[in-house]
Amino acid sequence: MTHFLDIHTTDPADLRQMIDHAATMKSARQDRPKGAADDEQPLAGRMVALIFEKPSTRTRVSFDLGVRQMGGETMVLSGSDMQLGHGETIGDTARVLSRYVDLIMLRTFDEAVLHEMADNATVPVINGLTDRSHPCQIMADVMTYEEHRGPIADAQVTWCGDGNNVFSSFLHAAGQFGFDVTFSGPQTLDPDAEYLRYGREKGRKVRIERDPAAAVTGADLVVTDTWISMHDSQSARERRHNQLRPYQVNAELMRHAKPDALFMHCLPAHRGEEVTSEVMDGRQSVVFDEAENRLHAQKAILRWCLGV
């Protein structure tokens, strides 16, 4: 079964094929009305279940639209609709859904839920996000970097902020696509050692630099993410703000990066917190190209999973 569960568990040649296919499909849509069907309809007659235990804007819209553009249909299910693991087991849910649909995209909290779904499904499963990784986002990020700057191999990527699930997938991508990564953030929010080790074992330069100005020096790409989760308490939010304030991406920080360095953020952004509006709306920002490319990258992932 061809699942897309994580970047580091997918063959690099397949990852490259998906990025290149996404770019081709994006180019083919040039001058086409927004939302219009593609010339090719590889998902005609296919049904895709989109399951959201965690709320979403970009993941939901981009997957739903991508399936429809390619001629397929979607069934969007929330965590309350499914009640995954409450009563019926996740394994049994996977077996039942596999009788109805051609592919399952799951956005969930616990990575174990994703793997149990994949282990028991007889259709492909795509990781739409877990608390540990966000591979679809990073596929879009790699695509975005390459359409602006060419091959990402040997590029220097600097992450400022929290060593969260998105950064974990950047470390996976560093190993698979061959670029170097610097993390800059407070020690209390360091990335998991497992992910740091993966990048280093792949021969990439993966380092931690507490000084954000030193961290972005020479960077080709500067990336950040929101400091808070919608589930954080007020006291947790205040603690995070206090810890992360020195790592805000602003114009002064970007001046330490290469003059043509790009800025990315997976959105939603809290302007004035992790990034200033001056950077978000500035000439180096590609955040809205990045958001659009979720659509194209995920269409390529869907086609790869289904072999169409």
Written as one letter, the residue type at 94 is A
Which is it for the CA torsion 18, 69, 63, 50, positive or negative? negative
N-terminal to C-terminal alpha carbon distance within the chain: 14
**What does R_g of the chain's alpha carbons equal in angstroms?**
19
Structure tokens at 108: 């969930």
Beta strands 180-184; 156-160: pairing state: parallel
Look at the block and give the residue holding tokens 């269409």. Answer: 299
Is residue 248 within 8 A of residue 274, CB to CB? The reply is yes
With residue 290 as reference, give the H or E element that holds it: helix 287-306
Beta strands 103-107; 73-78: pairing state: unpaired
User: How far, in Å, are 25, 91, 108, 112, 229 from residue 131 at the CA level?
Assistant: 30, 20, 8, 10, 11
Q: What amino acid positions are annotated as catalytic residues?
A: 107, 134, 137, 225, 266, 294
Written as one letter, the residue type at 264 is M
- Render 191-204 in DSSP notation, one character per residue: PPHHHHHHHHHTT-
Is residue 249 within 8 A of residue 269, CB to CB? The reply is no
